[in-house]
Amino acid sequence: MTPTQTPTTTLTSIATAMFAVSDQDVALAFYTDVLGFEVRGDDRFGERGEHRWLEVAPPGSTARLALNPPMEGTPGGGVIGVESTDVLAEHARLAARGDLDVGPTPTRAPGAPLLFSVSDPDGNTVWVVEAETAG
């Protein structure tokens, strides 16, 4: 890059995705107790601590998921994808609970990874996608 050129962006990675949730404690229980995510941050802010910034993530993930009250509109409607080393086992584990909105058993289609969806209590969708293997 020459001194007269300016960079096109300073952005480097996706750090935090955000889901609007109606109850942060209910969402926290779903993501930690059901999906096995870790709490990455749970901080109060505002003049009287009336706001809460809550982040969760799968173990080892650098990207995080913020669980926030709706800034406008209603909760739900968000979509993220997470990788799994065993999509079929994860589907079986979640479907066996009987209390979750879990998509059908994944089947292999040419050119596509194995995947299925599960919805959180507010209707946000988490797609569980087969992790790419080095090869």
Averaged pLDDT for residues 59-71: 95
Give the residue-averaged pLDDT of 46-69: 96
Quote the radius of gyration of the chain (alpha carbons, Å). 18
Identify whether the C-beta of residue 7 lies closer than 8 Å to the C-beta of residue 1: yes
Does pLDDT of 55 surpass 80?
yes
For the whole model, what pTM was predicted? Answer: 0.87
**pLDDT for res 11:** 80
pLDDT higher than 70, residue 22: yes
